[in-house]
């Protein structure tokens, strides 16, 4: 079956057209040209800025002029990942779409349904001459997948909507009304060396389950960096040669590595082996594939001073990691932090903690707590990539959206928040009086070459969206 045979035809037509255009984050000029031309060909009002954000406006249909203005919002960029054996150039090649039963996939690459489906919905609705709707604004942003660089710079004075529908959620039937903001807390220690004179042990932690620090931080999985600090700290008398772990700020660290100078390597190994058994026993349910190795190694040269070594390990051992609290009314996550990366470079050791919260005050509080601990251990602290959260919305229109879905689709729905980041955080900060809600069709394995979209879910959400525009007051 070809994509042109799928229903709703208008949605899959526009998704097919978008899939022909390279649109990796940072390379959205082509898709912005496409959207601008679409608007001009239909004599729609269109706004485009230097970051290739595009806003297209369409007047209300007859009889809907007095209803609230609705913004449909999504992002044009996509994550570009491919299998090793696939010959694909994301700067010029179209995405090769594959229909597999009820799933739309790509041939060995990411599909781009995150968030091309939102844009396709918007184009299908704007292009229609039959649908009934109030005044519409299609808001398409850029660089959402990397830095939220588009939404953080868009001129929101161009957005007049009373209600904004963000179509960037990936589980049908979930209506998201809040998201976490985030900030990186980077703590740096300048290295101070002295000559090694003792014996060495090497510790390796691997095979931990890990996961996304927003979605899995409440699963109580072991963090490799924190467990390594625990093991080294318990040696009491040591100097660091190597101390590193983790790979990404927003991932729970699955691995860590340390080489430590001690006075008696045999006693150190015995102590570490005992602690290893305790950690693996604690992790038997959350991290069944965890592996820890401890062994004596031969090494010479420079090590960090004893004082500095204790400060670094003491800091990593002390700083908070994991879930802080939850929204009990929705049973969703509110605030957390994740020690994501421990970097051992030529002249510094740096620790990256990623703090998330849907409450700005809590985000700042936990950020400052980590900074205070870091400074007490002698580290230099800086904050990076700070983006706002979206505090839980409460408005009757949210209940209306949920109830309409249950009535029209015949399935249960829930109102929830997400511990991940959404563009609504930035938009709500600039548009405090605009009620926002996020939803979407079922998408799976996004950001991987296995990404797929459920075809019948895309159809259900489109029918729902059309009905929502017709009924909303």
* Active site residue ranges: 77, 144
Instruction: Kindly tell me the sign of the dihedral angle through the C-alpha atoms of 389, 391, 396, 402.
Output: positive
Q: Name residue 452's beta-bridge partners.
A: 444
Among the listed residues 467, 453, 462, the one whose alpha carbon sits nearest the alpha carbon of residue 171: 453
User: What are the φ and ψ backbone dihedral angles of 460, each rounded to 5 degrees?
Assistant: -60, -45
> How far apart (Å, rounded) are the C-alpha atoms in residues 383 and 377?
17
Other C-beta atoms closer than 10 Å to the C-beta of 145 total 18
Q: Which H/E stretch holds residue 245? A: strand 239-246
Q: Name residue 164's beta-bridge partners.
A: 71, 436
Among the listed residues 386, 378, 319, the one whose alpha carbon sits nearest the alpha carbon of residue 349: 378
Among the listed residues 148, 183, 178, the one whose alpha carbon sits nearest the alpha carbon of residue 362: 183
Contact 397, 413 (CB under 8 A): no
DSSP assignment letter at 58: E
Q: Which H/E stretch holds residue 75? A: strand 70-75
Axis-axis angle for helices 455-471, 9-19 (nearest 10):
110
> How far apart (Å, rounded) are the C-alpha atoms in residues 246 and 223?
9
Both structure tokens of 419:
């511990």
Other C-beta atoms closer than 10 Å to the C-beta of 258 total 23
> How far apart (Å, rounded) are the C-alpha atoms in residues 319 and 366?
10
Please report, for residues 104, 126, 158, 185, 301, the alpha-carbon distance to residue 54 in angstroms, rounded to integers and kept in the order given.
26, 14, 10, 33, 58
Residue with tokens 């041939």: 107
Contact 389, 425 (CB under 8 A): yes
């Amino acid at each position: 079956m070809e994509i042109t045979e799928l229903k709703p035809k208008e949605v899959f037509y526009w998704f097919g057209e978008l899939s022909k255009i390279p649109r990796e984050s940072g390379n959205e000029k082509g898709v912005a040209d496409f959207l601008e031309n679409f608007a001009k060909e239909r004599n729609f009002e269109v706004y485009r800025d230097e970051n290739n954000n595009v806003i297209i406006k369409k007047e209300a249909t007859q009889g809907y002029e007095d209803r609230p203005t609705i913004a449909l919002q999504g992002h044009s960029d996509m994550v570009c990942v491919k299998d090793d054996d696939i010959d694909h150039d994301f700067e010029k090649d179209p995405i090769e779409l594959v229909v597999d039963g009820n799933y739309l996939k790509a041939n060995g690459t990411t599909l781009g349904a995150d968030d091309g489906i939102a844009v396709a919905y918007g184009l299908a609705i704007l292009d229609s001459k039959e649908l009934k709707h109030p005044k519409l604004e299609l808001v398409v942003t850029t660089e959402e997948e990397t830095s939220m660089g588009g939404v953080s710079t868009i001129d929101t004075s161009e957005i007049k909507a009373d209600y904004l529908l963000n179509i960037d959620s990936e589980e049908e039937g979930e209506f998201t009304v809040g998201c976490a903001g985030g900030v990186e807390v980077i703590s740096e220690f300048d290295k101070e060396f002295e000559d090694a004179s003792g014996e060495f042990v090497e510790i390796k932690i691997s095979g931990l389950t890990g996961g996304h620090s927003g979605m899995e931080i409440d699963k109580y999985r072991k963090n490799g960096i924190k467990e390594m600090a625990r093991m080294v700290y318990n040696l009491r008398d040591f100097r660091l040669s190597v101390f590193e772990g983790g790979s990404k700020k927003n991932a729970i660290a699955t691995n860590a590595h340390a080489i430590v100078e001690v006075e008696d390597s045999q006693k150190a190994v015995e102590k570490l082996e005992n602690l290893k058994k305790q950690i693996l026993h604690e992790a038997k349910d959350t991290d069944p594939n965890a592996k820890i190795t401890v062994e004596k190694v031969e090494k010479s040269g420079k090590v960090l001073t004893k004082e500095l070594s204790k400060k670094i390990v003491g800091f990593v051992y002390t700083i908070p990691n994991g879930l802080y609290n939850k929204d009990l009314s929705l049973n969703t996550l509110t605030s957390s932090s994740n020690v994501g990366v421990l970097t051992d470079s030529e002249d510094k050791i740096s620790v990256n903690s990623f703090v998330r919260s849907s409450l700005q005050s809590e985000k700042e509080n936990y950020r400052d707590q980590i900074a205070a601990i870091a400074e007490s251990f002698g580290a230099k602290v800086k904050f990076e990539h700070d983006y706002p959260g979206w505090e839980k919305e409460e408005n009757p229109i949210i209940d209306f959206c949920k109830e309409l879905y249950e009535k029209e689709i015949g399935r249960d729905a829930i109102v929830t928040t997400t511990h991940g980041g959404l563009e609504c955080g930035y938009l709500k900060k600039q548009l405090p009086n605009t009620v926002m809600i996020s939803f979407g069709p079922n998408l799976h394995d996004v950001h991987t070459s296995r990404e797929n979209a459920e075809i019948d879910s895309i159809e259900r959400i489109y029918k729902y969206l059309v009905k929502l525009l017709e009924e909303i007051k």
